[in-house]
Structure 1
């Protein structure tokens, strides 16, 4: 029976021979050879040389890899690592960003998920080793350890990478196709600000000097009036505002990209590019800002130097504003925790790294703007190595400071709450889901309905209709 041919783009066994010896008769030249099956189907001998056997074989290995990659146009094989396929997929995604087909923010998010979550577990595995049970275990592990939202994103990224491997012929089918869908309830249900809460919020931030310096009253006004994202608000230029008609043109957003810093880029999708008409109370605010002097190329909501503001910094200011400095007990606790940290010789940055907290969390705790749970306090005290009476005293303060306070009224508020509030107000006014989606910049009305409408009763008129239809029906009295 004839020997089975090598698969295309692969090679056979290495054979290495001595080609030269020195004056003492010691070998100092080697030739390594192997047969390679080219992409025209013909098998050819490939040679490489080196001063040692290992060098000759390494040179041959590199030569064969380059021949394979050059012959198949940088395609993949089942023996390639998942990390190589991920690099190719990211490069294609970068090109789509340049072509305006994908957003730079999505690229940065996917790259972070790859580096932090996906590649540590899958990067060194071969594409041919990828199977549904393995990937199902990995994705479920991400769901349990990190959360459903991250797991869904990672599932999509892995599917995209392996879909590329399928198109390049490295694997026959995409194994992610049969991986169980990631289900999970959102961390919090959609909630919108009521009229009373809106009034209380504006009172709170208007009386907070730090919030006023951060320009939060005007920024909040604009976000409630339009329903735009925080990055879109910060990316708005005066050249896109018509102070006569009250129209604002939303086309860009501000995002931070690793290695590039702040950039002004297109909105998340084509649906995000829209022209909105602002209500009169928002137009009055914009006119008052414009009266102070503007440049058309400048942001409507700039930083202190007239440049673009970082959305992360604005969110930090928002977190501070929603949690005003607490009462006497909470202030005392914050001072004691700050002193304990300094006595231990630990910086706030080190605390966030060791406990896995967000960068602003320890800062908010130490300025009495965030309530401390017993679990958080125990983690801090363990880190500061506090024992005995000092530890017991601080834990008693934690219990006293955990009592309900008016300063906790807006602890749940985020910048997305403003979008939900706008959507809910429009919903209550009888706007259709399509109209509200257009206002928010959503391509799919279902997204608007599921995530951004804070109403509990989806069809309040249904009960009235059923009441009218059945209340006078004699048969209804015998139903049940």
Structure 2
């Protein structure tokens, strides 16, 4: 019976011999040799040298491993580490980004999940060891530690990577396919601003000096009048606006890519490229900005140097303008509490550990960005060995900070709520879901209906129809 051949990508026994000696006959160079079965099926010798027998064998082993990885057919084996598989998957995704079929922001998101969650948990395992129970356990831990959205992202990455392993012949079945679905609490239903909230929002931003400096009033007006994403609004150039026709062309979005900075890239999909008609009040706002002097290649909403603005910074500016920091009393109390903490020599982290609170909660209190009550403040200052009754000044600040503020009505608003407000307004005006999806630049109408359209409180027409249907007294 003939001896079975070496498996593809593996090698036989490593042998070594003295290759070179010095004048005294002492070995100075060793040669290590082995035969590897390449991925075309041929068995070939591979050699390496080193100053010692161990060094020669180590150098040869590295060459053999590199040869097994960088093969002509691109195949993997079940013995390859998952880190190597993830490297291949990431490189393929980079290629899709370069081709324009995937977004660079998606690549950035996936890289963070790979670095922070997947590689530490699975990277050193062999591909063949990544079975369904093990992956399911790891994803459950990620969900507990980082939340369901992060776990879903990790599941998508692992599914794509294991599909690649199946195509390359390392495994026969994708183990992620049978992993239990990642369930999460239902998201809050879509919430749009009412007409009264829109009026309050505009007044609040116009009266906020920092919001005006951040150019938020006009930016919010533009987003309400178009329904565009904040990155799309920041990417619009003046030559894309037709004031006479009252239209704006949406073709790009702004994203920050690590290592590259701000990038003006094409929209997420072809549906994102669109020409939108503007309401008269949005045109009036643009005319006023245009009259102040512009260059056609400048963004409408640029930074102080007429360059592109960072969407993250703009979102943060909106959150700051609309958060409870609008209450001066809360801001003053926060400064007092910060001074008391520093007087004790404690850090936020130390206080959070004593109270078993998230550290961010201490920060939000000290910056006046969270609604407080007497019990919360009493619990916090007890850590500093202080009671509010011992300090009339502190007690007065607490009383003032616990009063409702007008800005509380707007604290829930984020930049995406403006987009939902536009969608809901169009829905109430009788536009179809397809028309609204086209306005928002979405290819799937289901996303528009499920995520962007606020539910109406009642349908009077339904009641009228039921009254007509069941008006027979015998049915009562």
TM-score where L is the length of structure 2: 0.89
On the 8 A contact 2:155/2:176 being kept in 1, the answer is: yes
How far residue 335 of structure 1 moved from its aligned partner, in angstroms, is 1.4
- 2:14 aligned residue: 14
- 1:439 aligned residue: 439
On the 8 A contact 2:34/2:45 being kept in 1, the answer is: yes
On the 8 A contact 2:39/2:73 being kept in 1, the answer is: no
Matched residue SS, 2:424: helix
Q: Deviations over 1:234-277 (max 9, x none)?
A: 01111111111111111111111111111111112221111111
How far residue 173 of structure 1 moved from its aligned partner, in angstroms, is 1.8
Rounded Cα–Cα distance in structure 2 between residues aligned with 1:405 and 1:459: 34
Pairing 1:256-275 to 2, within 5 Å after superposition: 256-275=256-275
- 2:192 aligned residue: 192
Rounded Cα–Cα distance in structure 2 between residues aligned with 1:436 and 1:458: 21
Give 5+ residue unaligned stretches, structure 1: none
Rounded Cα–Cα distance in structure 1 between residues aligned with 2:459 and 2:131: 45
How far residue 222 of structure 1 moved from its aligned partner, in angstroms, is 0.6
Q: Work out the number of aligned pairs and report it.
A: 470
Rounded Cα–Cα distance in structure 1 between residues aligned with 2:33 and 2:45: 7
Rounded Cα–Cα distance in structure 2 between residues aligned with 1:180 and 1:451: 25
On the 8 A contact 2:324/2:405 being kept in 1, the answer is: no
Matched residue SS, 2:58: helix
How far residue 399 of structure 1 moved from its aligned partner, in angstroms, is 8.5
- 1:237 aligned residue: 237
Matched residue SS, 2:254: strand
Q: Call closer, same or farther: CA 1:309–1:472 in 2, change over 3 Å.
A: same
Rounded Cα–Cα distance in structure 2 between residues aligned with 1:39 and 1:465: 72
How far residue 145 of structure 1 moved from its aligned partner, in angstroms, is 2.1
How far residue 305 of structure 1 moved from its aligned partner, in angstroms, is 1.4
Rounded Cα–Cα distance in structure 2 between residues aligned with 1:440 and 1:430: 16
Rounded Cα–Cα distance in structure 2 between residues aligned with 1:305 and 1:28: 65
Q: Deviations over 1:259-310 (max 9, x none)?
A: 1111111112221111111111111111111111111110000111111111
Rounded Cα–Cα distance in structure 1 between residues aligned with 2:5 and 2:464: 77
Matched residue SS, 2:46: strand
On the 8 A contact 1:103/1:269 being kept in 2, the answer is: no
Q: Deviations over 1:192-247 (max 9, x none)?
A: 10011111111111111111111111111111111111111101111111111111
Q: Deviations over 1:290-342 (max 9, x none)?
A: 11111111000011111111111111111121125455652342112332455
Matched residue SS, 1:170: coil
The counterpart of 1:389, out of the listed 386, 391, 410, is 386
Supply the RMSD in Å over aligned alpha carbons: 3.2
TM-score where L is the length of structure 1: 0.88
Q: Call closer, same or farther: CA 1:225–1:159 in 2, change over 3 Å.
A: same
Pairing 1:58-69 to 2, within 5 Å after superposition: 58-69=58-69
- 2:180 aligned residue: 180
- 1:146 aligned residue: 146
Of the structure 1 ranges 7-16 and 371-380, higher mean CA displacement relative to structure 2 is found in 371-380
Rounded Cα–Cα distance in structure 2 between residues aligned with 1:220 and 1:9: 59
Give 5+ residue unaligned stretches, structure 2: none
Rounded Cα–Cα distance in structure 2 between residues aligned with 1:126 and 1:293: 62
How far residue 426 of structure 1 moved from its aligned partner, in angstroms, is 0.9
Rounded Cα–Cα distance in structure 2 between residues aligned with 1:87 and 1:304: 40
- 1:52 aligned residue: 52
On the 8 A contact 2:427/2:453 being kept in 1, the answer is: yes
Q: Deviations over 1:78-131 (max 9, x none)?
A: 222222222222222222122111112111111122112222212222211111
Q: Call closer, same or farther: CA 1:401–1:151 in 2, change over 3 Å.
A: same
Rounded Cα–Cα distance in structure 1 between residues aligned with 2:53 and 2:458: 76
Q: Call closer, same or farther: CA 1:332–1:42 in 2, change over 3 Å.
A: closer
- 1:310 aligned residue: 310
How far residue 401 of structure 1 moved from its aligned partner, in angstroms, is 3.6
Rounded Cα–Cα distance in structure 2 between residues aligned with 1:169 and 1:351: 53
The answer to whether residue 227 in structure 2 is matched with residue 227 in structure 1 is yes
On the 8 A contact 1:192/1:418 being kept in 2, the answer is: yes
How far residue 41 of structure 1 moved from its aligned partner, in angstroms, is 2.1
Of the structure 1 ranges 179-188 and 214-223, higher mean CA displacement relative to structure 2 is found in 179-188
Rounded Cα–Cα distance in structure 2 between residues aligned with 1:108 and 1:375: 42
How far residue 141 of structure 1 moved from its aligned partner, in angstroms, is 2.0
- 2:415 aligned residue: 415
Pairing 1:93-132 to 2, within 5 Å after superposition: 93-132=93-132
On the 8 A contact 1:85/1:165 being kept in 2, the answer is: yes
Rounded Cα–Cα distance in structure 2 between residues aligned with 1:377 and 1:18: 78
Q: Deviations over 1:38-68 (max 9, x none)?
A: 2232333333222212211111112212332
Rounded Cα–Cα distance in structure 2 between residues aligned with 1:29 and 1:105: 51
On the 8 A contact 1:255/1:264 being kept in 2, the answer is: yes
- 1:202 aligned residue: 202
- 1:321 aligned residue: 321
Q: Call closer, same or farther: CA 1:116–1:374 in 2, change over 3 Å.
A: farther
Of the structure 1 ranges 164-173 and 414-423, higher mean CA displacement relative to structure 2 is found in 164-173
Rounded Cα–Cα distance in structure 2 between residues aligned with 1:221 and 1:59: 65
On the 8 A contact 1:223/1:230 being kept in 2, the answer is: yes
